[in-house]
Amino acid sequence: MSLRLYNTMSRQVEEFRPLNPPKVGLYACGPTVYDYTHIGHLRKYVMDDVLVRVLKYLGYQVTFVRNITDVGHLVSDGDEGEDKLEKGSRKYKLSAWDLAKKFEDYFNYSMRQMNTLPPDVSCRATEHIPEQLEMVETLEKKGYTYTILDDGVYFDTSKLPDYGKLARLKLDKLKVGARVTKLKGKKNPTDFALWKFEKKGQKRQMVWESPWAKRSFPGWHIECSAMSAKYLGEQFDIHTGGVDHIAVHHTNEIAQAEAAFEKKPFVKYWVHHNFLQIEGKKMSKSLGNIYTIDDILKKGYHSMALRLLFLTAHYRSELDFYFKNLAGMQKALKKLVESIARWKIEDLPAVSSRLVGMQAGGRLKIEDRRWKLEEKKMSKLAKEYRKRFWEKMLDDLNTPEAVAVMWQVAKDEALSGKEKLALLIDFDQVLGLRLFKLTPDELELQSQVDINSLPPKVKELLKKRQQARKEKNWQEADRLRDKLKEFGYLVEDTAEGEKVKKTSAVILPSKA
């Protein structure tokens, strides 16, 4: 089994051959920690996670490095505008350092919610200032830089004949304004800042002394070249990032690294993730459609339903996010988790009702190991499914088709329960859906509803139940609670009174 990956550099799906097998070095551009991580970011990091899991499954010794950008990422790609950290500091009324800490924590929390494997190295730009300075000095010694007075040290892109090869930039046709604004003093429109100086009159919170200025700070691109070299070497296997990084950020990372180390290629495989849009529209503050993981959880959805939704789109395609699709994913996932519990029981005929009772509560504490099957013990059909799943997964991480194979396995009555369990254990190592840890209860789709907007029949039942409770007729109150459940409503009696939630099991009569 070998992996095939689309390489942005060649614009082709290529067979993956690491530089020093079985070792694999992977660098992922991480978050700029100036605001909350949203689901657009989550999609990218979940797809990184699938790639890391696939590499590990194949037996590679992966070193997975992901950076935290906590300085130097300017609002504009053209080396102008404010540092995002300094701007965020004002918005949230926190010091730039506290802001970075707050949103790095939120990022890590979001990653745990999505069940992504932690990187082997998580590195902050502010903790690698000497490495970045050293790299800029190397570039200066080799003659790739020039200084713009009171502004910064710049990379002269005309010194590299193959500059822009990743994005296939047509440099002669590149007009100022199309990709970059021409900053005063820049020799070429594509030149970019390696190191920036504090502007006169500006009082930045994050500054360091450098050979060029007393108060200065790194440009955004240098951190990724310096830190990837430190942890993975001057050349490594895979670099990932969003498609928006191809034209500027990754193009400049390549320029810095290949000029400083004089080794080509800097990276062997460039993997780029596509965007997520929300219900047909771009995510934006003005539309109010930027959702964090907490927004998703508060609406009653489960993070694994969101992960499953991400997996249903190929990482190179745009994903259009709809809440109704998320609800659909959650229902399907719940059904699958219920089936898993049933297949476990079927495989344990000697187990008594005690276990069945535990299963009803959603927890069956038997180690997954019990259902692992060796390939040679599998039926021909099970082997066929396993082969099909991995063919899809290894074909440039075709997760939508791999997930489709998972549903086929769940449905196919020719497979035994035990075989289904064995296959799902195998698949979930890379899907990362925690199939054997989830319970049907936690996947119950619930969202609180306004009592006034309920159908009349449901309102009537609620009223009757209130009356029964008043009369301390608990039996009748419980019966009515069950009746409401049939209609798809859960009633909770809380300190603030009655709360009604809608569940995914809607059995509303057509004329309520």
**Taking contact as CB under 5 A, which single stretch among the options 28-36, 154-162, 458-466, 489-497 is the one that binds Zn ion?**
28-36
Residue that is written with structure tokens 């409770």 in the block: 469
CB of 396 to Zn ion, least distance (A): 22
Nearest residue (CB) to Zn ion, 48 versus 419: 48
Distance CA 250, CA 267 (A): 10
Q: Are 313 and 319 in contact (CB under 8 A)?
A: yes
CB of 73 to Zn ion, least distance (A): 9
Nearest residue (CB) to Zn ion, 29 versus 422: 29
Nearest residue (CB) to Zn ion, 42 versus 224: 224
Type of residue numbered 200: K
- Please tell me what DSSP assigns to residue 208: B
Residue that is written with structure tokens 């700070």 in the block: 217
Structure tokens at 484: 């409401």
- Phi, psi at residue 14, to the nearest 5°? -120, 155
Distance CA 290, CA 267 (A): 33
CB of 424 to Zn ion, least distance (A): 36
Tell me, residue by residue from 199 to 228, as one string, x for binding to Zn ion by CB under 5 A and - for no binding.
-------------------------x----
Q: Which of 9, 29, 68, 114 binds Zn ion (CB under 5 A)?
A: 29
Nearest residue (CB) to Zn ion, 108 versus 147: 108
Nearest residue (CB) to Zn ion, 18 versus 219: 219
Cis amide linkage into residue 265, ω under 30° from 0: yes
- Please tell me what DSSP assigns to residue 19: S
Q: Are 465 and 484 in contact (CB under 8 A)?
A: yes
Nearest residue (CB) to Zn ion, 39 versus 224: 224
Contacts of 405 (CB under 8 A, 6+ apart): 385, 388, 389, 392, 427
Nearest residue (CB) to Zn ion, 116 versus 399: 116
CB of 239 to Zn ion, least distance (A): 8
Nearest residue (CB) to Zn ion, 270 versus 291: 270
CB of 179 to Zn ion, least distance (A): 18
**Taking contact as CB under 5 A, which single stretch among the options 6-14, 21-29, 113-121, 263-271 is the one that binds Zn ion?**
21-29
Size of the site for Zn ion (CB under 5 A): 2
CB of 57 to Zn ion, least distance (A): 26
Strand order in the sheet with 489-494: 447-448, 497-502, 489-494
443 binding Zn ion? (CB under 5 A):
no
CB of 100 to Zn ion, least distance (A): 16
- Phi, psi at residue 90, to the nearest 5°? -70, -45
Structure tokens at 129: 């200032």
CB of 235 to Zn ion, least distance (A): 17
Distance CA 120, CA 139 (A): 29
Nearest residue (CB) to Zn ion, 65 versus 329: 65
CB of 166 to Zn ion, least distance (A): 13
Structure tokens at 3: 């992996």
Q: Are 204 and 17 in contact (CB under 8 A)?
A: no
Nearest residue (CB) to Zn ion, 26 versus 224: 224
- What distance separates the 2 farthest-apart alpha carbons in the chain? 89
Q: How many CA atoms lie within 13 A of 37 on its CB side?
A: 29
Residue that is written with structure tokens 């970075």 in the block: 100
Q: Which residues 92-131 are close enough to bind Zn ion by CB under 5 A? A: none
CB of 124 to Zn ion, least distance (A): 13
Contacts of 173 (CB under 8 A, 6+ apart): none
Distance CA 501, CA 512 (A): 17
**Taking contact as CB under 5 A, which single stretch among the options 22-30, 151-159, 178-186, 202-210 is the one that binds Zn ion?**
22-30
Nearest residue (CB) to Zn ion, 99 versus 123: 123
Q: Are 404 and 391 in contact (CB under 8 A)?
A: no
Nearest residue (CB) to Zn ion, 157 versus 252: 252
Tell me, residue by residue from 145 to 184, as one string, x for binding to Zn ion by CB under 5 A and - for no binding.
----------------------------------------
Type of residue numbered 483: K
CB of 135 to Zn ion, least distance (A): 14
Measured in whole angstroms, the distance separating CA 142 from the mean position of its chain's CA atoms is 38
Q: What sign has the CA pseudo-torsion 112, 113, 116, 122?
A: negative
CB of 219 to Zn ion, least distance (A): 11
Enumerate binding residues for Zn ion (CB under 5 A).
29, 224
